[in-house]
Amino acid sequence: MLLQNPAVKKVWVSAARPLVKPVDLSKQPASTGSSGSSSSSSSEASGVKPGATAAAPTAATDGSVVATGLSRLAKRHPGLDGTGTLICMIDTGLQYTLPAFGGCSGINAPVGSCNVVVGRDMVGSRYDGSPGSLPQEGDAPLDCYDHGTKVASVAGTANGVAPGAKLGIYRIFGCRGVATDAVIIPALDRAVKDGCHIINLSAASGSGFEERSPYADVMEAAYEKGVLAVKSAGNSGTSGVFFESDVALAVGSITVGSIGAGSIDVDDIMVISDFSSFGPHPALQLSPHICAPGSYIKAYSKSGSITSVSGTSFSCPFMAGVLALWRQGKQQEAKAAGRALRPAELNQASALRAIVSTADMVRSQTPGLVEPIARCGGGVIQADALLDNQINVDPMMIQLSSNLRRPWVTAVRLTWTGAAPLANDVTFEVKHVPAYSLDITNNWYGTDLESNSNNATAIVTALTPRVTLRAGPKPTAIVRLNFTLLAELTRRPLLYSGIIRLLPITTRSSSSSNSSSNSSGSSNMTSNSNTTSNSTGNSTDPPAPTPNPSVIFVPLVIPYQGYSQDYRQLPIMARVINSSDDANDYYDYYANQLAEHAKALCYAPRSAPSAAGNLMDYQADVPYVCDGGFAETMAMWINVSLGVLQDSPECSLRVTLAPQTPMQWLYVDLLHARNGTKIGSLQPLDTSANGPLVSTHEVWSWCLGFNGTYTPVGGGSATLTVGFKYRIAVNAVGPSAARDAANKIPPRRERVLIRGVINVVP
């Protein structure tokens, strides 16, 4: 194997990444999803300059200009349209011949009128990501999927959020199938070298771990050059937690979920889209980070018609468009102040922190509770607050230890980051807004929000109910918070979360008694003292006025998240649930499927996974892919050819597993068949970035990559002996909460004895 070669220093698994396909909301029940678009002025939303191309009659921003702050941004910063920013799509291609993209005859042709100025076909039309499918690069990255065209139009056409931005396209999908890391990484690298400012990636896989991501080097290089990256959270909202598109994919990207209008022609209230995938990050860190409109978005199809589309594939370019407006706004502010813009002001870390800290909460169907941050991160993007805010929040998210059993106090620091000193004191009121909690056990059956959600919440007390930033060059203030979990929360295995909200209420100025508040709750010279409602429908106190009209103080948010019990006790493998209810055939069916198909030896001579580089195959192929033998009982013999293993080691020998939480590693032990004594070990499987890593209703066959050679208990190297019999056991390493890991608490290891006996034949 490669790692046994001393010249090889590091090996990554090249995972398959499926396209985040649009969602057909006409076939979904109307509950928390969006209900349509409003007749809001799209030219106001995008801030088109006088004389510039007007927005299309139906625009991607219809129905969301108020809730996302785009209308307020256009009023306070007229003329922002994304000019000077290059937004690049890593997608299925783009029909750049359409008038909406400048009627291009090729990439950047003709020069001046073509808005698609960089790009490359990385794969060719016949590529499908399967073993043996080789990419064929070309100069014409046209779209045969009709996905990339729609994505690009949301970000940067007259129909989109940033109509003045230029576009790039890097085609990573053929006309069918999936894309693998082996083509996505070169596409990202090429986009960075071509000068893209913002990269949009609407591909997804299961949840994963970023520590060993093959994307680390190329993304680090991107961020060092000031490139911003966004990716979609995925459309698996009904599949349960940990299904947000994995953090290993384009590691460090801003992950975007989807919201939509709460009712037809209502622009100021947004609710979560049912299809938007749940996080959290396997270490209980923030993921997804933010939500943007992704339901019933108007976009150009490759035929040139405007169509209504839904999915996080479209909330993602919406966010990319907002970032283009933000970049342009920051550049204009620096120019007006006669100063150079510091690179740190536009980098990925700054953008992510600003996006989360200035978001607006997403209300749930339960009064007084918001959506869990595992669903929508900090909340709905607020384009105006993103640009206006000059206060840094550190940390941007509070991570709690799992199994918290006594009050815990933490602190958050606020720091003024304005180029000019803060002229007057500003005071914030600290408020706690809890989210409903999620039961994340037995997740193999998916998340039924009625049975898996819980209204138990943490008790959070602000030890500093009001904090003040004092006038000066770089003032700071400390918010001190006390977290307490009551018995109703700790008696259940619940993922709990919420938002700490900081509302600007006063300044030291005595000249601003006649003030008024805008609809986002941000304060300026023209705000009044009337209580208003924010975009979630929650009443807020009046914000603070400031004597300087150029300074805006906006509401700030600090999301938090924790697990009510010991995170290490969360089962890694799905458990069989026996139902005595005859009406519950659904659960019985999947329980039987789990019992029959999982934890078994699978012999698939000279086979390969369905997607190049994958470690596993889909449930539909189990046990059928095991044409050499599938162990139905613990004692069943499977004749395994040593010659076949040596000739075709990748996937000839497999085990079937159904993990319900993300795995970091699979350690594989070789056992004596009769007494179960450990004889040696196979090469460990790095499962950190190969998804899907969490299965809902699916049993996967995992390729062991075994060539018949193993490491004996005493060290060295040995080979299977013809005529001998062996068993396999796997040790799965699960996730660890970030704060638990910081406290040096090891992750859970779960041992699984695999059904069946390996009978070695020549």
Preceding omega of 110 cis (within 30 degrees of 0): yes
What's the burial of 26, exposed, middle or buried (CB within 10 Å: 0-12/13-18/19+)?
Answer: exposed
Beta bridge partners of 412: 479
Tokens of 750: 């779960």
| 668 vs 615: CA distance, rounded Å | 14
Q: Where are the beta strands (DSSP E) in 471-596?
A: 476-484, 494-507, 532-533, 539-540, 556-563
Structure tokens at 32: 């928390």
Report the 3 state secondary structure along 467-481: EEECCECCCEEEEEE
CA distance 98 to 92: 16
The answer to whether 646 and 722 have CB atoms below 8 angstroms apart is: no
Q: What is the DSSP letter of 518?
A: -
Residue in 754, 573, 752 with CA at minimum distance from that of residue 662 = 573
28 touches 274 (CB < 8 A): yes
Q: How many angstroms separate the Cα of 278 from the Cα of each of 233, 237, 401, 419, 458?
A: 8, 6, 20, 38, 20
Of 258, 313, 607, 610, which is the active-site residue? Answer: 313
313 an active-site residue? yes
CB 536 within 8 Å of CB 362: yes
Cα distance between residue 383 and residue 393, in whole Å = 17
What is residue 224's three-state secondary structure? helix
Place of tokens 């979990």: 485
Tell which phi-psi region holds residue 458, choosing left (phi > 0), alpha (psi between -120 and 50) or beta: beta
Cα dihedral sign, 356-357-360-362:
positive
Tell me if residue 81 falls in helix, strand or coil: coil
User: Within its chain, how far is the Cα of 286 from the centroid?
Assistant: 9
Residue type for 242, please?
F
Q: Write the CB contacts of 480 (distance below 8 Å, at least 6 apart in sequence).
A: 409, 410, 411, 462, 463, 464
Among 147, 197, 281, 432, the active-site one is 147
CA dist., res. 538 & res. 361, Å (int): 9
Interaxial angle between packed helices 312-336 and 148-156, expressed in degrees from 0 to 180 and rounded to the nearest 10: 30
Name every residue whose Cβ is closer than 8 Å to that of residue 284 and which is 6 or more positions away in sequence: 399, 402, 495, 561, 562, 563, 567, 737, 738, 739
Say whether 607 is catalytic: no
Gap between the Cα atoms of 58 and 55, Å rounded: 8
Question: How does strand 426-434 pair with strand 532-533?
Answer: unpaired
Distance, CA of 599 to CA of 593 (rounded, Å): 12
Cα(574)–Cα(699) distance, integer angstroms = 10
Q: Out of 40, 62, 64, 91, which one is annotated catalytic?
A: 91
Cβ contacts of 496 within 8 Å, gap of 6 or more: 434, 435, 437, 456, 457, 458, 485, 489, 561, 562, 563, 564
Q: For 629, which DSSP code?
A: E
Record the tokens describing residue 706, joined without a space. 């075994």
Would residue 232 show up in a list of annotated catalytic residues for this protein? no
Contacts of 202 (CB under 8 A, 6+ apart): 19, 20, 89, 90, 91, 147, 151, 231, 232, 312, 313, 316, 317
Q: By C-alpha distance, which of 145, 165, 171 is closest to 153?
A: 165
As annotated, the active-site residues are 91, 147, 313
